[in-house]
Structure 1
Amino acid sequence: MGRIILSNARIITPFEEIYPGTVEVENGIIKKVYYGKRCGGENLEGKILTPGFIDIHTHGIRGHDITQSSLGGSVEKVVETLVEMSKAYAVHGVTRFLPTTMTAPHEALLIATKGVAETMDYQRDRIEGALIEGLHMEGPYISREKAGAQNPKYIRSPSISELKEYWETSRGKLRTITLAPEVKGALELIEYARSLGINVSIGHTNATYEEAKAAIYVGANRATHLYNGMRQIHHREPGVVVALLESPQVYLELICDFIHVSPVMIKFTIRYAGIERIVTVTDSIIATDLPDGTYSLGGLEIIVEEGVSRLRNGALAGSTLTMDKALRNLVKLGIPLKDAVRTLTYNPASAVGIRDAGAIIPGYTADLVVLNNNLRVESVYVRGENIL
């Protein structure tokens, strides 16, 4: 890989801004970060340098979807799909991601878990796009009342033996599972998942405040697309949302497309919970980067009109958001750039235990994004290699 120098950029670390600043990279690792102009290397004067974006909740993009390739598919098909997804994400500044399955039959999820493990092996020696950091299983242990665009046909009760099988077939690459804490057996499953090092995210849930708090006490540490697919707040029964908001150990996913969550609520959540807990996700689907039309999501038909994806009954069904668009949306709201960048980089890394990415700090992997002043992606580095 050798040595590269990126000089004279506006560096968002994302804890502070360094301008003008220079980053030196050796063998894919950040070696030095310092203030001041210098000659030599790639001159990024007038550009913005940020850590690579990390999307920990995304189903698909540009005609590719992990669940779709698992339903009646094969491990080889999943690997092919994930490789293409990784290339498509990189165009939007994503350098790492968690492919996310929908609620699906047991056999399909086994194919997905094996496919993720195989693709991660493939990526050890090849850098063609964003790197997979493990699997996020959204479901199948969720609430029927709050299923949203999850296929109700495949919702089932929590099963420790089933989760153990997913863990083993993924070769320990299952990083997150989204579940509803109120369903019978959920608390025991949370304890077991946490014992394996799997992060547990509360979502697609009709939980009361007390049920949600019980899950947090035994180890649930995330909220899947906060506000969406959840019991609403009521002044006599605050419900799951308040339990999540008030628990400082819980990271809060937000889909910042201004469709799933209003700008007012995004600003309120940041103000109340603090920027340190906010994780920007896309929840993107197969139709992302494609024209409006009819598509499939987890075996259900969805209709995309003006970029908004819905089931035929009108329920929102994922998004066509990209991470770079989410960054621009946050900045439009008046969120300082370094804070907005943090929600796309350091926070998601922390939320799922990625220790070597998400910041521009010596010793971290050189996953970097060069943006212009309009926050458009111009180039992307993964492990110090310029892939875009």
Structure 2
Amino acid sequence: MTTADRDRTALAGARLVLPGGVVEGGRLAVEGDRIAALTSGESEPGDLDLTGHTVVPGFVDLHVHGGGGASYASGIAEEALLAARTHLEHGTTTTMASTVTGEIDDLVRQAAVLSELVEDGILAGIHFEGPFISHHRCGAHRPDLLRDPDPALVRKLVDAARGHARMVTLAPELPGGLDSVRMLADLGVIAAVGHTDSDYPTTLEAIDAGASVATHLFNAMPGIAHRAPGPIVALLEDERVTVELINDGVHLHPSVLDLAYGTVGPGRVALITDAMGAAGMGDGRYPLGPLQVEVKDGVARLVEGGAIAGSTLTLDVAFKRSITVNGLTLGQAVESLSTTPARLLGLADSIGTLEAGKLADLVVVDSTGYDLVAVMRQGRWVLGGDRFPTVKSV
């Protein structure tokens, strides 16, 4: 195969999920790392025949701690590369790297390693989840390492990321919380409300101060009470907030996801994995920062205490569940897995939808069961590109 051949790929016969709707039997041409054209015309000799398949934009994961047996919190570049590659092979073509609560100096060292991978184009940015969270809602974070969100400490982590910190999860009710939210907003870093024991009025204050994401909504926060609506109602009702949801069948009952979608719509939902190192692997023991996790039947729980400790989810599974379990349309699923998170990260000009001129980040699924078949990132097949026959004639 020549360089020219590698730089030119045409996919024909697939169902294409475009911003304006679904096109049956479409043709998508890729040149270099970009989508060159999208048409509904006939195939040409040399096209790859994707009849019976559906093409959607690559998935974007805002919140993921690891995969493939590796953790972003290890501070080891090779582990971070393995985690990113594992999720890439499941359709996540744009990924954040989420840390977990640790000593501040350890988080600074992790940020230095992860920043290099952002600069190399492997990662889209860094998400600090902890240590600025509530003891009452700490989940799989070590309680003795938690800290109040003093703006100076928060700024230390942001600065350690060398401009690549994209999101910080914190509990706004803690001392310094609201000031830190304002500071993050001023710096252009997403302030996310999560692992919080906040009440309704304080959550509203946080949103007014600039918080714009709900970290895995419903999980690690008070539930809704009829006289104390708490953070969930505040985060759902404000149009400025994007809500993360984990659609693995463990973190949330399907009816709860339906409730969230019915309240805010897919334009304000970002489906995430919150995956830890066991994603893409089997049952067993895995580290999550300084803690040990036992995975049994695909469910990750802390060895000590038994709290749910992230997930083993990959976004291809979340995509399939959103359609087959929750009844979303293809367009709605794409919005929650690609378009909305891309827009939140400020990357909508290059990813998140299938449009000419954007990066050729593609996920191919079969058109019946929506199982993953192939993945392309920036014009190069990562998985499954050799499965499609070449069109022999027009």
TM-score by shorter chain over 0.5? yes
Partner residue of 1:31? Answer: 36
- Which of these residues, 317, 329, 342, is aligned with residue 336 of structure 1? 329
1:325 aligns with 2:323: no
The answer to whether the 8 Å contact 1:60/1:85 transfers is: yes
Partner residue of 1:345? Answer: 338
Q: Percent identity?
A: 34
Query: SS state of the match for residue 23, structure 1?
Result: strand
Query: What residue identity is the alignment partner of 2:381?
Result: N
Partner residue of 2:357? Answer: 363
Cα deviation, 1:129-169, whole Å, max 9, x if unaligned, reads xx310001111111110001111121101132233332332
Cα deviation, 1:291-329, whole Å, max 9, x if unaligned, reads 212222121222211111112323211111111111111
The Cα RMSD (Å) is: 1.4
1:21 aligns with 2:26: yes
Partner residue of 2:375? Answer: 380
The answer to whether the 8 Å contact 2:67/2:84 transfers is: no
Shift in CA distance, 277/372, structure 1 to aligned 2, threshold 3 Å? same
Partner residue of 2:155? Answer: 164
After superposition, residues 87-98 of structure 1 pair within 5 angstroms as 87-98=85-96
After superposition, residues 193-212 of structure 1 pair within 5 angstroms as 193-212=184-203
1:177 deviation in Å?
Answer: 0.6
Taking the aligned partners of 1:351 and 1:150, their CA distance within structure 2 comes to 26
Query: SS state of the match for residue 380, structure 1?
Result: strand
Partner residue of 1:315? Answer: 307
Query: What residue identity is the alignment partner of 1:180?
Result: A
- In structure 2, stretches of 5+ residues that fail to align are 1-5, 384-394
Partner residue of 1:5? Answer: 10
The answer to whether the 8 Å contact 1:15/1:342 transfers is: no
Cα deviation, 1:182-209, whole Å, max 9, x if unaligned, reads 1111111111111111011110000000
Taking the aligned partners of 1:154 and 1:60, their CA distance within structure 2 comes to 20
Query: SS state of the match for residue 22, structure 1?
Result: strand
1:44 deviation in Å?
Answer: 1.2
Taking the aligned partners of 2:98 and 2:163, their CA distance within structure 1 comes to 16
1:375 deviation in Å?
Answer: 1.8
Query: What residue identity is the alignment partner of 2:372?
Result: V
Partner residue of 1:62? Answer: 68
Query: SS state of the match for residue 360, structure 2?
Result: coil
Partner residue of 2:112? Answer: 114
Taking the aligned partners of 1:108 and 1:138, their CA distance within structure 2 comes to 14
Shift in CA distance, 219/287, structure 1 to aligned 2, threshold 3 Å? same
Scaled by the length of structure 1, what TM-score is found? 0.93
Taking the aligned partners of 1:132 and 1:289, their CA distance within structure 2 comes to 18
1:372 deviation in Å?
Answer: 1.6
Partner residue of 2:267? Answer: 276
Query: What residue identity is the alignment partner of 1:109?
Result: L
The answer to whether the 8 Å contact 1:19/1:36 transfers is: no
Taking the aligned partners of 2:311 and 2:149, their CA distance within structure 1 comes to 27
Cα deviation, 1:314-352, whole Å, max 9, x if unaligned, reads 321111111111111111221112211221111111122
> Which stretches of structure 1, 4 residues or longer, exceed 4 Å deviation after superposition?
none
Taking the aligned partners of 1:340 and 1:253, their CA distance within structure 2 comes to 14
1:365 deviation in Å?
Answer: 1.0
Taking the aligned partners of 2:96 and 2:194, their CA distance within structure 1 comes to 16
Query: SS state of the match for residue 308, structure 2?
Result: coil
Q: Which has the higher mean CA deviation after the structures are superposed, 104-113 or 239-248?
A: 104-113
1:177 aligns with 2:182: no
The answer to whether the 8 Å contact 1:22/1:33 transfers is: yes
After superposition, residues 290-305 of structure 1 pair within 5 angstroms as 290-305=281-296
Partner residue of 1:233? Answer: 224
The answer to whether the 8 Å contact 1:14/1:346 transfers is: no
Query: What residue identity is the alignment partner of 1:354?
Result: L
Taking the aligned partners of 1:3 and 1:184, their CA distance within structure 2 comes to 55
Cα deviation, 1:65-104, whole Å, max 9, x if unaligned, reads 011x13xxxxxx2x21111112111111110100100111
The answer to whether the 8 Å contact 1:222/1:351 transfers is: no
1:274 deviation in Å?
Answer: 1.0
Taking the aligned partners of 2:277 and 2:381, their CA distance within structure 1 comes to 26
1:43 aligns with 2:37: no
- In structure 1, stretches of 5+ residues that fail to align are 71-76, 124-130
- Which of these residues, 256, 271, 286, is aligned with residue 265 of structure 1? 256
Taking the aligned partners of 2:93 and 2:177, their CA distance within structure 1 comes to 33
The answer to whether the 8 Å contact 2:69/2:286 transfers is: no
1:242 deviation in Å?
Answer: 0.3
The answer to whether the 8 Å contact 1:14/1:339 transfers is: no
Partner residue of 2:391? Answer: none
After superposition, residues 61-140 of structure 1 pair within 5 angstroms as 61-67=67-73, 69-70=74-75, 77=76, 79-123=77-121, 131-140=122-131
1:14 deviation in Å?
Answer: 4.9
The answer to whether the 8 Å contact 1:56/1:98 transfers is: yes
Query: SS state of the match for residue 338, structure 1?
Result: helix
Taking the aligned partners of 2:198 and 2:20, their CA distance within structure 1 comes to 35
1:37 deviation in Å?
Answer: 2.7
Query: SS state of the match for residue 145, structure 1?
Result: helix
Query: What residue identity is the alignment partner of 1:372?
Result: D
Number of positions where the alignment pairs a residue of Structure 1 with one of Structure 2: 373
Query: SS state of the match for residue 345, structure 1?
Result: helix
